[in-house]
Structure 1
Amino acid sequence: MSAAEIDGFADRIRQHRGGMISAWVGIPDATLANHLAQEAFDTIVLDMQHGMWDMPSAANAVAQVRLAGKPALARIPVGDFASASRLLDAGASGIIAPMINSAEDAQAFVKTTKYPPLGERSWGPSLALNHTGLSADDYLKNANALTVAIAMIETRAALEAIDGILGVAGIDGIFIGPSDLSIALSNGDQVAPNAAEIDSAMQHAVSRCRAHGKFACAFAADGERAGELLKFGFDLVIAGAETAQLRSGARRAINAARRIASA
Structure 2
Amino acid sequence: MQLRDKLDQDRMLITAWSTSPSEEMAGALARCPFDTVTVDMQHGAHTETTAFASAKAIFAAGKPAIMRIPVGRNDLASRALDMGFEAVIAPMINSVSDAEAFAAAMKYPPVGERSWGPMRALQLHSGHSPESYFRSANSETLALAMIETRAAFAALDGILATDGIDGIFVGPSDLSISWSDGAGVDPQNEELQDVIAEIGNRAHRAGKAAAIFAVDPADVPRFGKMGYRLAALNTDPAIIHAGAAVMLDKARG
Instruction: Tell me if both proteins adopt one fold, taking TM over 0.5 as the criterion.
Output: yes
Whether the 8 Å contact between 1:225 and 1:239 is mirrored in structure 2 is no
Q: Does 1:27 align with 2:20?
A: yes
- Post-superposition offset of 1:230: 2.0
1:150-161 correspondence runs (5 A): 150-161=144-155
Equivalent position of 2:110 in the other structure: 117
% identity of equivalent residues: 43
1:102 corresponds to: 95
What is the CA distance between 1:16 and its match in structure 2?
5.1
Residue 184 (structure 1) aligned with residue 195 (structure 2): no
1:49 matched to which residue of 2? Answer: 42
User: Normalization by structure 2: what TM-score?
Assistant: 0.96
Preserved CA contact (<8 Å) 2:204 2:227: no
Query: Take 1:53 and 1:143, find their aligned partners in 2: how far apart are those partners?
Result: 25
Deviations 1:54-105 (A, max 9, x none): 1111111000000000000000000001111101000000000000000100
Give the counterpart of 1:241 among 212, 229, 235.
Answer: 235
Q: Does 1:90 align with 2:75?
A: no
The structural deviation recorded for 1:45 is 0.5
> Structure 1: where are the runs of 5+ without partners?
none
Does structure 1 retain, via aligned residues, the 8 Å contact 2:16–2:233?
Answer: yes
Alignment coverage as a number of residue pairs? 252
Residue of 208, 218, 224 corresponding to 1:214: 208
Q: Please report how far the alpha carbon of residue 256 of structure 1 lies from its aligned counterpart in structure 2 after TM superposition.
A: 4.3
- Cα deviation, residue 210, structure 1: 2.0
> What amino acid is the match of 2:113?
E
Quick one: distance in 2 between partners of 1:121 and 1:36?
A: 30
Q: Supply the AA of the counterpart residue of 1:175.
A: F
TM-score scaled by structure 1? 0.92
Measured in 2, the distance between the counterparts of 1:16 and 1:192 equals: 32
RMSD: 1.3
- Structure 2, gaps ≥5 residues long: none
